[in-house]
Structure 1
């Protein structure tokens, strides 16, 4: 199996939209998602490479998954934190180590010419598969809570 990772491009928009819809379709709490925003996210990061990226995961030339990453400086942890907003691997390609290898490759690459101080995942409550994945990577649940209020848009 030949697995590669690359920056998503506009030509990937259609399959990224399908995969994003698949991801949200697997989460009961997000089945009624009013609008898929992956293309807007792709445009945003194409214009602002320093803020993050949309990544495509390919296995044997086939688009097998995607991820959205970003980084920020944490005063609390004293360094750059790698953030994963979404990570999705299609069912056919799961349980092959693809997602874990992808995360490890991002960590090894670092950001803005320095190593990451840590990694942060965003996931929906009740996503048991994500909890198992993070446990396997030895990424513990943080005791801190994140609260989000959205301005001006309905979900």
Structure 2
């Protein structure tokens, strides 16, 4: 099985939002279809703030990853955040997410990204191990904090 990545385009909106809906249902994130489409569509239209990659075959993707872009003085330039990564439950634990998290940073670095960040549930030791194997490290002195506006 391959974790080939393909940049999602506007014509992939239904395919991507179906995967996002499945991920959000699994993790308990409440969002209407309208909100979901409004959040995803600009990423597919090419706004400079992020992008969506479909994982695997174009007709039947295995999952997706959303990358958002920012700027970091600490890291010396443009940085990115893995906003969401999702692999269909039936094909998990086959190394697909690990492959994505190993190859995607290489491509992003070639594009000038200086650092790639992600957030993980503090109780999800399985996900933490996956991310550590892909080279991500916790930052003991820091904790991600959010404020919804």
**1:56, distance to aligned residue in structure 2 (A):** 0.7
8 Å contact from structure 2 (residues 63, 87) kept in 1: yes
2:66 corresponds to which residue? Answer: 68
The root-mean-square deviation of aligned C-alpha atoms, in Å, is 2.5
1:61-113 Cα deviation digits (max 9, x unpaired): 52100111022221112233221000001112222222222223321123684
Q: Is structure 2 residue 112 aligned with structure 1 residue 87? A: no
Structure 1: gaps of 5 or more residues: none
TM-score (norm 2): 0.79
| Length, aligned pairs only | 147
Q: 2:51 aligns with which of 50, 53, 60?
A: 53
Equivalent residues of 2:64, 2:86 under 8 A apart:
yes
> Could you tell me which residue of structure 2 aligns to residue 108 of structure 1?
106
Following TM superposition, by how much is the alpha carbon of 1:26 offset from its aligned partner in structure 2, in angstroms? 2.7
Change in 2 beyond 3 A, CA 1:81/1:148: same
Alignment match, 1:9: 9
- Comparing both structures, which one devotes a greater share of its residues to strand? 1
Is residue 131 of structure 2 the alignment partner of residue 134 of structure 1? yes
